[in-house]
Structure 1
Amino acid sequence: MLKNAESVFMEYLAENDLSMTPQRKLIVETFLETEGHFSAEELGRLVKDKSSDIGQATVYRTLKLLVESGLADNVDFGDGVTLYEHAYGHQHHDHLVCVQCGAKVEIFDSAIEDRQEEVADSYGFKLTRHRMYLFGLCPDCRTNKK
């Protein structure tokens, strides 16, 4: 049974002699209620809507802690912008990325996952994690190109 995400974060803070400040708590709560892929700036705007006294630097520092604790994952889809998404309690997935409009689709394919394990094994590797991005044109952009 998975612990709740806030408990995982609290344990991480305690293990690293850090405290749960009111600012961190609000940022973590906002992060956990925000689905999809979002930038630190987008999260900062959502946090500012709730409390205007929390600065962007605090959001960045807390996101770093969320990644280190395993609650968040940072992803870069090749455009130089780091986005964040939930990691803890969410099934692993890969991404399809449209090179024209930037649309992102989360995918899971067990055959691809199995094949990645096989390839790693054939080279003597034991996978601990991986990311896969497939780039192309989404249906809307393909239709609009014609």
Structure 2
Amino acid sequence: MVEHMKRRTVQKEAVREALKETKEFVSAQDLHRRLIDAGSRIGLATVYRQLNNLAAEGQADTIRMGGEQLFRDCGEDASRHHHHLVCERCGRTVDIEPPSETWFRRIARENGFTVTSHILEIFGTCAECREREREERPAVEERE
């Protein structure tokens, strides 16, 4: 095997393993920082490339939040298409079952589209963040 091919394989495996250790969605920059902190000499561009390769292979899940692409390991469910509820405050995600494929196709057909793929992400605020916000609100009001 050519040396640069070996390096790519080692780097891809390092990114894959670091992603597996992360239970929530993570940015390429955050994952890069974790790898560097663990002693890796991998470059940020390589982390981006490997994360995008893992996503294209169905081994990583990806969402866009706040203009940033985030990644998460698919785990044992790599072959299953994922849909998510996403907390805009803390980033917590929950895999959800989407409406049926029939619903997607019907909506597309009614609007003159043919479905080639779909992504369903619902953004909001999780119960923990709403509770934290309620607890913090009286303290802010008392200071005023």
2:104 to 75, 100, 116: 116
What amino acid is aligned across from residue 70 of structure 2 in structure 1? L
TM-score for the superposition, normalised by structure 2: 0.65
Distance 1:141 1:64, change over 3 A: closer
Give, as a single letter, the amino acid of the residue that structure 2 aligns with 1:72. A
Identity score, percent: 32
Contact 2:61-2:82 within 8 A present in 1 as well: no
In the alignment of these two chains, the number of paired residues is 127
**TM-score after normalising by structure 1:** 0.64
Residue 80 in structure 1 maps to residue 76 in structure 2? no
C-alpha distance in 1, partners of 2:13/2:125? 39
Matched, 1:23 2:11: yes
Deviation at residue 126 of structure 1 after TM alignment: 4.4
Partner in structure 2 of residue 142 of structure 1 = 130
The 2-side partners of 1:80 and 1:141 are apart by: 21
Task: Point out where structure 2 has 5 or more consecutive residues left out of the alignment.
Answer: 138-144
Letter in 1 for 2:47: V
Partner-residue secondary structure (3-state), 1:131: coil
RMSD (Å) for aligned C-alpha atoms: 3.0
Q: Secondary structure at the match of 1:19?
A: helix
Q: How far apart in 2 are the matches of 1:114 and 1:108?
A: 17
Change (3 A) 1:128 1:102: farther
**How far 1:71 moved relative to its partner?**
2.4
**Which of structures 1 and 2 has the bigger CA Rg?**
2
Give distance in 2, aligned partners of 1:75 and 1:69: 15
